[in-house]
Structure 1
């Protein structure tokens, strides 16, 4: 995979230029795109910007508005749609010097109907979703950076399946203005890169917060909670092996590990994700459903057929339960430095008809807390298997630092 920090460092040292690095990414996309199918559209040429991310080619998920490229949202409904303005995140990328290398494939409206993208490690396996193209483009080594969105697990899960690093920051740390909404209480922008170190470099540059480019944490002395999320169901053996491998690494690094119980308030919050999303999705996609229902793909169409029955009462109750969950999480995170859990149920599904399951991501998305995933092992089918590291709301620098510390203890997997 291409490293954003290393690329920027070589440019700063005069060993290469932004133009050369962008041309390199363009050539790699030309070479690999026919089999990976990560991109929905691309510009005619990649022009270098100025700033800390100059020379960094970035993929932008195709539900995010761009003025100079179509925003099709994975749907024929928007086949000819060209926004008049860039989304806020695109403007922030450009202000930091990054260059949009293209719009990356998304599942239709960021739901469950698969995108055409392939997993770089096994072209017959799922790349996950909904940010399929973003994860695959980074993991395949086409580009050093990509933007995705997460409403359930759509940043962390595809990154885990494809073997990339990813961050879902604290809710609203990255602006969602100009991003097609699915559930405005849950939708969160995230980044994918070759490593947690690249994520911290890029995130700090994009939003101008140097403190997010934290030094790698020494795991010695950290109090780390292990959360198996029993309320979300059992993982596949591969994900449990990854968590056990993390336990071994952390123990050898003299961290203190604490098994966390399934607190009732967090279990209830997990189950509130569905009704909260249902009510907001039926409103966010009301026009598409009313005017173009027959053009919606089957899984989304069936979902909206059901979601239209969501009531204001169920929504209010889901919001109440969510608030209780956030209060419980605030208390729980006082007891540990970070929490570690499964990033996905297991290896990527062995079918392109599935985007996988977000059940180990939904709670943390609902709570709005920062999560970073890094690959740890290869599973029985030879595909990457990751864990996710979670911190309390607003402690993005902590979760990044621990992820970077963990990366120093493991051999590259992606």
Structure 2
């Protein structure tokens, strides 16, 4: 039998419900993996193995009433928990112990899931990395800022993890670590208890190895009914490749992965094509930087003024640059965003999802930086739902992947398409 820590959350929950295993056996498999690998991967900033096992053993004797009964999950260290510290990736707040769980954490607890620990994030979910290494090659970055969450899922320490994205903090680490990630339509998931960076961009999300786990998490976090597979049987699966304004900034291998994915989907019966990007899309990356800097400078001004000597130069520079952005320049960036949003419906007129690169290429070597967020900035600014799917490896043996983009608000449809695309690519 496959080790329990190699299975996804949906499969583990089903096995527990059917009496084929127990929460404590599932937790033991994950804790054994953590014990064997955490010293080199460094996915956790706070780990309470005894508490996790205590909860799992208690779950052994409870009826499996929740859809994630007995299933482990991990939590990015910008998300509040009432029984573990939440330090926002900063030594300044290392002793910060919230009194309440974030809404998303409580939703999974109510579903029967068991938290294992808090995962490493970059400082204030920006660019200064923590200790985490890429499980595929420990000398390479796992990406950021959901570094520990992506590494924990990729290294079979947990089947499901919370992350977040303001620029590329879900999609990029998923791509670098070879796992799936879902960034919903901005505002779809409740951010109560989640650290704020740039309010119009901040989005809670999830990482997993199996797309069906993203579907389950979406249902739990939105309070909707988990769809049965047949509910989506009539969805037109038309996927268009969008090269975008930064296509040539991706490696040859990344561009080839996108082309191979399109060929495989076409051969599997999908309707495929290419979507042109409007000229305004070339302005979105810079607009994103302006919006992110402006909003961060105001939401985190307290940290800058009270702890300037204790924050990194990278984060201080973001605040200082953001303070120099005038209101007029900020509003102009939002107007650029809105002009692009007005053209989205036309882009989706003949397709259900856009296929684009998830990152420039393989994870860069070194742990001093987290890689380039170039291929996600525009989608974060446009507030569209995105799914990262792994596909193959590059010349260094590190993961590559694709990103699917959906229409705003069509999160369930995008997740259904992503599950189908993943299945087609795995069998191609």
Which residue pairs with 2:298 in the alignment?
A: 283
Decide whether the 8 Å contact of 2:254 with 2:357 is kept in 1. Answer: yes
| SS in structure 2 at match of 1:230 | coil
Decide whether the 8 Å contact of 1:329 with 1:392 is kept in 2. Answer: yes
1:61 has 2:57 as partner: no
Question: Post-superposition shift, 1:233?
Answer: 5.2
Question: Post-superposition shift, 1:207?
Answer: 3.0
Residues 85 and 221 (structure 1 numbering): CA distance in 2 closer, same or farther, change over 3 Å? Answer: closer
Decide whether the 8 Å contact of 1:218 with 1:402 is kept in 2. Answer: no
- d(CA) in 1 for partners of 2:192 and 2:226? 24
Which residue pairs with 2:20 in the alignment?
A: 15
Deviation per CA, 1:260-311: give whole Å up to 9, x if none.
2220233333431111111100011101111111111222122222222111
Residues 205 and 177 (structure 1 numbering): CA distance in 2 closer, same or farther, change over 3 Å? Answer: closer
Matched pairs, number: 413
TM-score (norm 1): 0.95
Question: Post-superposition shift, 1:359?
Answer: 0.9
Gaps of 5+ in 1: none
Residue of 38, 42, 56 corresponding to 1:37: 42
Gaps of 5+ in 2: 1-5, 60-64
1:352 has 2:367 as partner: yes
Question: Post-superposition shift, 1:385?
Answer: 0.3
Give the alignment's Cα RMSD to 1 decimal: 2.0
- d(CA) in 2 for partners of 1:295 and 1:214? 50
Residues 276 and 408 (structure 1 numbering): CA distance in 2 closer, same or farther, change over 3 Å? Answer: same
Residue of 321, 326, 345 corresponding to 2:336: 321
1:264 has 2:279 as partner: yes
TM-score (norm 2): 0.92
Deviation per CA, 1:350-406: give whole Å up to 9, x if none.
111120111111111111111111111111001110001111011112211121112
Question: Post-superposition shift, 1:167?
Answer: 0.5
- d(CA) in 2 for partners of 1:102 and 1:27? 14
Which residue pairs with 2:385 in the alignment?
A: 370
User: Residues 109-120 of structure 1 correspond to what in structure 2 (within 5 A)?
Assistant: 109-120=124-135
User: Residues 132-143 of structure 1 correspond to what in structure 2 (within 5 A)?
Assistant: 132-143=147-158
Which residue pairs with 1:393 in the alignment?
A: 408
Which residue pairs with 1:74 in the alignment?
A: 89
Deviates more, 1:400-409 or 1:86-95: 400-409
| SS in structure 2 at match of 1:336 | coil
- d(CA) in 1 for partners of 2:31 and 2:273? 46
Which residue pairs with 2:250 in the alignment?
A: 235
- d(CA) in 2 for partners of 1:125 and 1:291? 34
Residues 27 and 61 (structure 1 numbering): CA distance in 2 closer, same or farther, change over 3 Å? Answer: same
1:3 has 2:8 as partner: yes
Deviation per CA, 1:192-213: give whole Å up to 9, x if none.
0111122112322343322556
Deviation per CA, 1:148-177: give whole Å up to 9, x if none.
000011001101100011100111111111
Between Structure 1 and Structure 2, the one with more helix by share is 2
Deviates more, 1:318-327 or 1:172-181: 318-327
| SS in structure 1 at match of 2:333 | helix
